[in-house]
Amino acid sequence: MRDKIIGGIAQIWQKDFVKHLAVLSGAGVLSRIILLASYPVLTRLYDPSSFGLLATFTSIVAFPAILATLRYELAIPLPKNEDDANIILYLCTTFTLGWTLILLTVAALINDEMVGKLGFGQSQYVKWLIPLAVLGSGLYMAFTYWSVRRKKFKAIATTQISKIGGEVGLQLILGYFSFGAIGLILGNFVGLCLGVGTLIRAGRPYLKWLGIPLLWKRTKEMAIRYRYLPLFDGAATLMNEGGSRLFLLGIGIYYSQADLGLFWLALMLLSAISGVFINAAQRVHYAHASEMQRSSSAGLYAYYLKAVLTTAIAASFISVTVYFIVPPVFNLMFPENWTASLPLLLALIPAHLFKAAILPYLSYNIIEKQHIALVWNSIHMTLHLATIPVALYFGSDLFTLAATYSAALCLSYFSLFIIHLVILPKNTEEYSA
d(CA 268, CA 270): 5
- Within this chain, do residues 222 and 345 fall inside the same structural domain, yes or no? no
Residue 425: pLDDT above 90? no
- Domain end point (choices 204, 226, 248): 226
- Inside any domain, residue 206: yes
Which pLDDT score, from 0 to 100, does residue 177 have?
Answer: 93
Which pLDDT score, from 0 to 100, does residue 408 have?
Answer: 97
Which pLDDT score, from 0 to 100, does residue 220 have?
Answer: 84
Which pLDDT score, from 0 to 100, does residue 228 have?
Answer: 79
The mean pLDDT value of the chain amounts to 84
Which pLDDT score, from 0 to 100, does residue 432 have?
Answer: 40
Measured between alpha carbons, how far is residue 301 from residues 107, 144, 334 in Å?
A: 47, 26, 44
Query: How crowded is residue 125: how many other Cβ atoms within 10 Å of its Cβ?
Result: 12
- Inside any domain, residue 251: yes
- Within this chain, do residues 308 and 327 fall inside the same structural domain, yes or no? yes
- Within this chain, do residues 194 and 245 fall inside the same structural domain, yes or no? no
- Inside any domain, residue 38: no
Give residue-wise pLDDT tens across range 279-298. 777 767 777 777 776 665 56
Minimum mean pLDDT among 32-36, 276-280, 319-323: which range? 276-280
- Within this chain, do residues 271 and 395 fall inside the same structural domain, yes or no? yes
Give residue-wise pLDDT tens across range 153-176. 888 888 888 899 999 999 999 999
Measured between alpha carbons, how far is residue 34 from residues 152, 168, 335 in Å?
A: 23, 8, 19
- Within this chain, do residues 231 and 98 fall inside the same structural domain, yes or no? no
- Inside any domain, residue 257: yes
Per the model's pLDDT, the better-predicted residue between 423 and 167 turns out to be 167
- Inside any domain, residue 309: yes
- Within this chain, do residues 98 and 210 fall inside the same structural domain, yes or no? yes
- Inside any domain, residue 216: yes
Which pLDDT score, from 0 to 100, does residue 395 have?
Answer: 83
- Within this chain, do residues 70 and 202 fall inside the same structural domain, yes or no? yes
Give residue-wise pLDDT tens across range 374-422. 889 999 999 999 999 999 999 889 999 999 999 999 999 999 999 988 8
Residue 108 makes CB contacts below 8 A (sequence gap 6+) with none
Which pLDDT score, from 0 to 100, does residue 81 have?
Answer: 83
% of the chain exceeding 90 in pLDDT: 45
- Within this chain, do residues 217 and 273 fall inside the same structural domain, yes or no? no
Residue 188: pLDDT above 80? yes
- Domain end point (choices 226, 259, 292): 226
Per the model's pLDDT, the better-predicted residue between 5 and 140 turns out to be 140
Which pLDDT score, from 0 to 100, does residue 57 have?
Answer: 92
Across the range 236-261, mean pLDDT stands at 91
Query: How crowded is residue 417: how many other Cβ atoms within 10 Å of its Cβ?
Result: 18
- Within this chain, do residues 278 and 390 fall inside the same structural domain, yes or no? yes
- Within this chain, do residues 221 and 320 fall inside the same structural domain, yes or no? no
Which pLDDT score, from 0 to 100, does residue 18 have?
Answer: 67
- Within this chain, do residues 74 and 99 fall inside the same structural domain, yes or no? yes
Cβ contact 20:287 at 8 Å: yes
Domain hosting 168: range is 46-226
Per the model's pLDDT, the better-predicted residue between 122 and 336 turns out to be 336
Residue 250: pLDDT above 90? yes
Longest dimension (CA), the chain: 67
- Within this chain, do residues 214 and 260 fall inside the same structural domain, yes or no? no
Which residue type sits at 3? D
d(CA 394, CA 342): 20
Residue 347: pLDDT above 50? yes
Which pLDDT score, from 0 to 100, does residue 1 have?
Answer: 44
Residue 336: pLDDT above 80? yes
The pTM (predicted TM-score) of the whole model is 0.83
Domain total of the chain: 2
In this prediction, residue 9 has a pLDDT band, given cuts at 50, 70 and 90, of very low
Per the model's pLDDT, the better-predicted residue between 151 and 49 turns out to be 49
d(CA 162, CA 192): 9
| CA triple 13-17-18, angle to 5 deg | 90
* Three-class SS of the chain: CHHHHHHHHHHHHHHHHHHHHHHHHHHHHHHHHHHHHHHHHHHHHCCHHHHHHHHHHHHHHHHHHHHCCCCHHHHCCCCCCHHHHHHHHHHHHHHHHHHHHHHHHHHHHCCHHHHHHHHHCCCCCHHHHHHHHHHHHHHHHHHHHHHHHCCCHHHHHHHHHHHHHHHHHHHHHHHHCCCCHHHHHHHHHHHHHHHHHHHHHHHHHHCCCCCHHHHHHHHHHHHHHCCHHHHHHHHHHHHHHHHHHHHHHHHHHHCCHHHHHHHHHHHHHHHHHHHHHHHHHHHHHHHHHHHHHHHCHHHHHHHHHHHHHHHHHHHHHHHHHHHHHHHHHHHHHCCHHHCCHHHHHHHHHHHHHHHHHHHHHCCCCCCCCCHHHHHHHHHHHHHHHHHHHHHHHHCCCHHHHHHHHHHHHHHHHHHHHHHHHHHHHHHHHHHHC
Per the model's pLDDT, the better-predicted residue between 132 and 230 turns out to be 132
- Inside any domain, residue 351: yes
- Inside any domain, residue 40: no
- Domain end point (choices 226, 256, 290): 226
Which pLDDT score, from 0 to 100, does residue 2 have?
Answer: 47
Per the model's pLDDT, the better-predicted residue between 302 and 288 turns out to be 302
